[in-house]
Amino acid sequence: MDFKTEFKPLTVQPEEIEGISFQMIDDEVGEHNYTPEQYRVVQRVIHASADFELGKSLLFHPKAMEAGIQAIRSGKKVVADVQMVQSGVNKTRIEKFGGEVNVYISDPDVMKEAKRLNTTRAIIATRKAIKEAEGGIFAIGNAPTALLELIRLIKEEDAKPGLIIGLPVGFVSAAESKEELAKLDVPFITNIGRKGGSTVTVAALNAISILAEQV
């Protein structure tokens, strides 16, 4: 038997493909309890991951969307835990309002201090970031230790972020760090369980920046 089939490339434009994808997502998600603004994040997270379970597990602090949009419009800094998040974010929209996207994990002083204290660079980078990004957005998609350290600093009133996008992926402390984040009365976007990652963190942040750009 001949199983060969003729490959027919798509002839639609990227914008059309995205629109078709979003319609498919809407159809499969069906009814939901998210606000229209929150759903924009859910939609883009699913689009980035093709994971409906992950998208439907997102949790939003009641003030998360308002806080994130306001932080971007006010030109507050965005702090990424790793370069992958920094690379994926649409920086043009952030910079339009005077903001910037920073990552500190590979800074020489961070690496030196982490070695001296025998701890993770993510922890030291978080300590550095809170001094430079008060009221900013912390986008954490890879390092649970960064999220746990940020939570500790918030409890000790040393950190005052505008919004935390806490979606680290992994098996060690990822789910636990997000559970702790969900207990805080600070604006956050997180999810239940081990799933997450830099790609979905970028998707969430880009969704907020798109909303911020819409007047």
57-to-26, 83, 155, 165, 207 alpha-carbon distances in Å: 16, 25, 25, 14, 17
65 neighbors 75 (Cβ within 8 angstroms) = no
Q: Is 61 a catalytic residue?
A: no
* Local structure of 6: helix, strand or coil: coil
Q: What is the dihedral of CA 126, 49, 94, 138, to 10 degrees?
A: -20
Catalytic one among 21, 47, 114, 199? 47
Burial class (CB in 10 A: 0-12, 13-18, 19+), 6: exposed
Which residue numbers are catalytic? Answer: 47
